[in-house]
Structure formats: structure tokens, C-alpha cells
Chain A
Amino acid sequence: MEQHTQGSILPVKTIAVLCGMVTVAVIMSFGFKEEIIADRHTRQGMEKDSAASVAAFMDVYKVLMSPRCMNCHPAGDVPLQGDDSHIHSMLPQRGKEGKGVYAMKCSNCHQKENLEGPNKPPGHPDWHLPPASAKMVFQGKTPEQLARQLVNPKTNGNKSLQQLIEHADDGLVKVGWNMGEGRTPPPISHAEFKKAWITWIENGAFAPKGK
């Protein structure tokens, strides 16, 4: 009888312990989620400032949607060209790696440096579009859509926030401000862009709502 009683009590204790463990695990998992989100929105102990972040992003957005950036982040698989962002003549295709296909690779015409003369192909040693696996489309995106896309590793080429910050100094990004004769540069300088880019990210990388 005594044994029977003990036998019936043990499962109750076990269940109680298990419940407690599950509760702790649930609380911890929520805690970690909050931490990950917090980590996403803060950097080096900075407080989140959504207003500053969104304001900075609007400057970033103007640059990213300028022809010098957007032309190589098209909605389709053919780059755009010129200040009016028309479809690139010759219809070069993106290709798997973003570097063109067969006899139509970007580097067949785009040299390591800009060529002299108006509207000659601009140059960089690694001229390319985003790859087919992560097209990183800018064309047609609202500020909210673009901001969300930029911070999501699934849609930004698997970049962390730190890598995003470093990307502001990427050689191909900086070429946007040195595109050769006949092309209007982005609306603000690279230094101003970089400042806005970092301000946006370090203040939480907020997406402007409804814009």
C-alpha cells in the first residue's frame, strides 16, 4: 500500500519538475529571442533611436535608388543603364554568379578602370550584378521593403549587420561615385552616405513604416 502510494506520488513530482523545466526553457527561449532582437537593434551598447534610424535610412534610400546603384540591382535579370535607367543595351543576362553568360560577361566590356570619354563602359576589377541566388533587387522597392530586405540575411547575401556596415566601403559600391563621364553621381557624397548608412544600422536598422 505504502509502495503504491509512493508510486503514485513519484509521477506527480516528476511531472512537477518537468513542468518547471519546460517553464524555465520557455522563459529562456523568449529571453534569448528578445536578446537577439535587441542585439539586432543595438550596437556597442547604443540605445535604439528609431527616429534617427529612419531619418538616416531615407538618405540611404535616395542613394540606393539613384541610377548609379539601382542600375545593377534591377527587378529583372538584365541590368539597367544610364541616368534614365533604361534596359542595358545588348541585353546582358545576370547569369548564375551575376557576372554574365558565355560571350556576354560583364568584364568583357567593363575594364578594371573607367575608360576615357562620355558614356564609355565604367570599370572595376569585379564588375557584376548580385548573383541569381540573392538578387538583392532595389528597383521598385519602397523604403520599408528595401530596409527590411537589407537587414535580412536571407535577402542581403547572408550579411551580418557588421558586414553590412563594412559593405559601405566595398570597392564596387564606391565606384558609384566614380562612374566616368556622362553619368550623374548619387545625390549625396560617399562620406555622407556612409554616415547615414551607419547611423541607420547602429540605431536599430529600423524600416520606415508605410513608406
Chain B
Amino acid sequence: MITLNINKKTYNVDVDPNTPLLWVLRDTLGLVGTKYGCGIAQCGACTIHLDGNAVRSCVMPVSAVGSKKVTTIEGLSEKGEHPVQKAWLEHDVAQCGYCQSGQIMSVAVLLRENKAPTDADIDAAMSGNICRCGTYLRVRSAIHAAAELQRKKA
């Protein structure tokens, strides 16, 4: 039995220790906001936070989580009021939406560490999140807007 702290709740899961965290989230716990894209840490769709770092859950064995705190898109905010989520809606970023939870989780880390990112900062932070619909320009606009919202909130 493995004990996990996910979105401020404690879960006990009976799974093979080598199981990727992504499959525990989706298949065992039903937290399906986090997506499977490539399975080899290349696309970013499965990005979650592990003690605040934007980790690829598809390559992280559940046994490596230990006592670290996992945050998924479901736990980023209580009612979708995180500045990034708000900006995402305002800018109508999503097209098919498959990559969005991973994108948003990566942006949340960027804006925590850099309150006013430049386009270059955004490119450096987001180059690992692939969008097959090519919404990159809207992603970038929304990140600037989210930074602005975050500054106003502060």
C-alpha cells in the first residue's frame, strides 16, 4: 500500500510501485484532468506539481513520490479562480483542449517564479508543452494576462 498526498487529501493506493504516477491519478483515483500524451516525458500533457515543481507524471514511478505533495489541475484552485485559469478562459486559449491542463500547470510554476515574464521567459518555460492545435500565440497572450491578474491580486 502506498500513501499519497494529492490536492491536500490523503490517499492509500494498492498498486505496483513502478506504476507511473499518471496512471495512479487517472485509473486508480479517477483524477482524469491530467492527460496522457506521449508516455516518455516529451509533450507535457501529464504535467503536475510535486512539491511545487512541474513534474511529468507519465515517467514518475509512484514509489518516487514519497511524502511530497502532489497537485493536479483539479487541485490548482478550488473553483477555477487561479489567475492562469481565469486568463485561459478570457483568452479562449483552448482549441481541442487536450494539452491545456499540462500547459496551465507549467504556467503556474512560471508565474510563481517570475511575476512579469517576457516573451523569451515564456518560450523558455513553455517549450516542453506541445499543443497539436498550435495555440501557442494565445497561450502566450494568456500568460501575459495571467501575470497582470496576479499582480493586481497581490
A-side residues, CB < 8 A to B, are: 89-93, 101-105, 107-109, 111-112, 115-117, 119-121
Contacts and interface: CB of A to CB of B under 8 A. Distances in A.
Interface stretch (B1-9, B23-31, B88-96, B109-117): B109-117
Contact of A115 (B59, B105, B113): B59
B29 to A, nearest CB: 21
B139 interface: no
Contacts of B114: 102
B124 A93 contact: yes
Interface size band for B: 20 to 34
Interface stretch (B71-79, B125-133, B146-154): B125-133
Given A101-B124, A102-B113, A105-B54, 12 more contacts: A90-B127, A92-B128, A101-B125, A102-B110, A103-B54, A103-B129, A104-B125, A107-B53, A107-B55, A108-B54, A109-B41, A111-B60
A207 to B, nearest CB: 36
Give the secondary structure class of A's interface.
loop
A112 B41 contact: no
Contact of A109 (B56, B109, B110): B56
Nearest to A102: B125
B59 A104 contact: no
Residue of A93, A108, A116 with most chain B CB atoms under a 10 A cut-off: A108
Given A89-B42, A102-B113, A120 B127 contact: no
B65 to A, nearest CB: 11
B121 to A, nearest CB: 7
Nearest to B43: A90
Nearest to A93: B124
Contact of B64 (A89, A111, A116): A111
A104 B128 contact: yes
B61 A103 contact: no
Contact of A108 (B40, B56, B61, B110): B56
A108 B114 CA distance: 18
A115 B59 CA distance: 7
A112 B59 CA distance: 11
Nearest to A78: B127
Nearest to A109: B41
B78 to A, nearest CB: 22
A80 B114 CA distance: 26
A111 B53 CA distance: 13
A101 to B, nearest CB: 5
Nearest to A89: B42
